[in-house]
Chain A
Amino acid sequence: MMEGHDTVPQQEPRPLAAQAPGEVGQAPAMHAARRQWLAHLGTLGAFGALAALGWRGARAQAATPQVVQVIAKRFAYEPSDIVVRAGVPIVLEVKSLDFAHGMSFPDLNLRADLVPGKPVRITLPAQPAGMVDFLCDNFCGDDHETMHGRLLVQA
């Protein structure tokens, strides 16, 4: 119980608003540009590029996100325990089979609306090792309350 504890209501979670159908978190144009840049990096040779940009900048630019496919349906995510690596940005490609489920990460203050039949890309910043809870936050029917999961972030 949280009796006597003053809380300030959090602001509404930042929506990962789709810039284009099926794309959440990054505009398609930026993706294409990033792919081209990585191709150039390969041809120059990794060391030369790193020296030119500086170590930190190169690492951030070169971090390829890990991509995980997820299914959402009444009333579960599959997988519900999503294993990811720490320190690497995450892209979840989430396809809902049946409903405009939500996928909310309260600890990250991020959420997205899913679209039945169409994959939605959810981009999450790199996470430290640990667990991050997520849940469906669009009421979807009888077992909505059991529709949740965890990112298992492994070092």
Chain B
Amino acid sequence: MERRDFLALAAAGGGAVFASALAGCASAAASGSYGAAGAAYKDFYFVQLSDTHWGYSGPANPDAAVTLKKAVASVNALPEPPDFIVFTGDLTHTTDDPVERRRRMAEFKTIAADLKVKTVRFMPGEHDASLDFGAAYKEHFGDTHYSFDHKGVHFIAIDNVSDPGARIGDEQLAWLQADLARLDKAAPIVVLTHRPLFDLAPKWDWATRDGAKAMALLMPYQNVTVFYGHIHQEHHQVTGHIAHHSAKSLIFALPAPNSQPNRTPLAWDAGQPYKGLGFRQVELEPPYKDAPKVAEFPVVRA
């Protein structure tokens, strides 16, 4: 898919194209090759959905029972399908009842199975995993942390929620270090996770307790971008040369970091349903010297 097609798609979908001018030096090449095997790749994109909180019921979203289904329909309606789709955590809303937790996860899976693109990567949020150390999540979705490669880009899913104390933990950090060790320092890396890896707003529990250790492991790599969720809003911040992009949720929006005393959901606006909710497309262009390009989409097209 050529870049001009991507921009046209973004315009048609009513989304705004946000080009994060960061990591690495700009390259004029619109397509090229990357990868040890020397295979030639063309640009590709993936879709990030986040914080669907399936099972939530409350005034912040009277349409909670259908929001996720509408998002699935919107993703299915994209003119050009993404290569794959990721959910960056809080798939379900927390419950103390292990039976209800599993029921919500099963229901969520059923809804997600309606996605036409079948390559879907899940990861947990604290609502999914923190009360049982990820037990129910693993039964339904598999590993809570993992990595994979796609067209020469290395993707790493980091679990900072199975520990209720928001720790990645030494064992997973060792896994991360070993996973990174086999990569060239210039390799394009995309990190997917739920909580911010940096101290975005510790007073709001918008942090990872040992996130600094993960960041220290990532810093030697020149081409790293992080996509995460948890904070129910689009947010962009750089630490050193690494850009972090949080996603909107598909349940209710939250206020800007530390903008008010309480971290309470923004009120539902019946005149603008799904305001502040949405999903995004992330485009990567070989040879991946430019930072990934991000386009935000509403839940439903106007």
A residues near B, CB below 8 A? Answer: 1-13, 100, 102, 104, 106-107, 113, 133, 135-142, 144-146, 148
B residues near A, CB below 8 A? Answer: 93-96, 126, 130-131, 161, 164-166, 197-200, 202-205, 209-213, 215, 235-240, 256-257, 262-264
A106 to B257, CA, bound (A): 15
Q: Please determine whether A4 and B212 come into contact, CB atoms closer than 8 angstroms.
A: no
Chain A residue with minimal CB distance to B165? A138
Tell me, rounded to whole Å, the shortest Cβ–Cβ distance linking B93 to chain A: 8
Chain B residue with minimal CB distance to A143? B94
Tell me, rounded to whole Å, the shortest Cβ–Cβ distance linking B238 to chain A: 6
Of the candidates B95, B126, B161, B165, the one having the most CB atoms from chain A within 10 angstroms of its own CB is: B165
Q: Please determine whether B203 and A135 come into contact, CB atoms closer than 8 angstroms.
A: yes
Known: A13-B209, A139-B161. 14 other contacts (CB 8 A): A6-B239, A6-B240, A9-B211, A9-B215, A9-B239, A10-B199, A106-B199, A106-B203, A113-B165, A137-B166, A137-B209, A139-B164, A139-B165, A145-B205
Q: Please determine whether A139 and B264 come into contact, CB atoms closer than 8 angstroms.
A: no
Partner of A135, one of B93, B205, B239: B205
Q: Please determine whether A104 and B202 come into contact, CB atoms closer than 8 angstroms.
A: yes
Give the A-B contact count at a CB cut-off of 8 A: 84
Contacts of A107 in B (CB 8 A): 203
Task: List 20 contacting pairs A-B, 8 Å CB cutoff, sorted by A.
Answer: A1-B257, A4-B238, A6-B238, A6-B239, A6-B240, A7-B199, A9-B197, A9-B215, A9-B239, A10-B212, A136-B205, A137-B166, A137-B205, A139-B130, A141-B96, A142-B96, A144-B94, A145-B204, A146-B262, A148-B203
A133 to B263, CA, bound (A): 13
Main secondary structure, interface of A, reads: loop
Q: Please determine whether A138 and B263 come into contact, CB atoms closer than 8 angstroms.
A: no
Contacts of A6 in B (CB 8 A): 238-240
Q: Please determine whether B237 and A2 come into contact, CB atoms closer than 8 angstroms.
A: yes
A4 to B165, CA, bound (A): 29
A10 to B208, CA, bound (A): 10
Chain A residue with minimal CB distance to B241? A6
Chain B residue with minimal CB distance to A9? B212
Contacts of A8 in B (CB 8 A): 239-240
Chain A residue with minimal CB distance to B215? A9
Partner of A12, one of B96, B203, B210: B210
Known: A2-B257, A9-B212, A12-B210. A142 touches B95 (CB 8 A): yes
Q: Please determine whether A139 and B126 come into contact, CB atoms closer than 8 angstroms.
A: yes
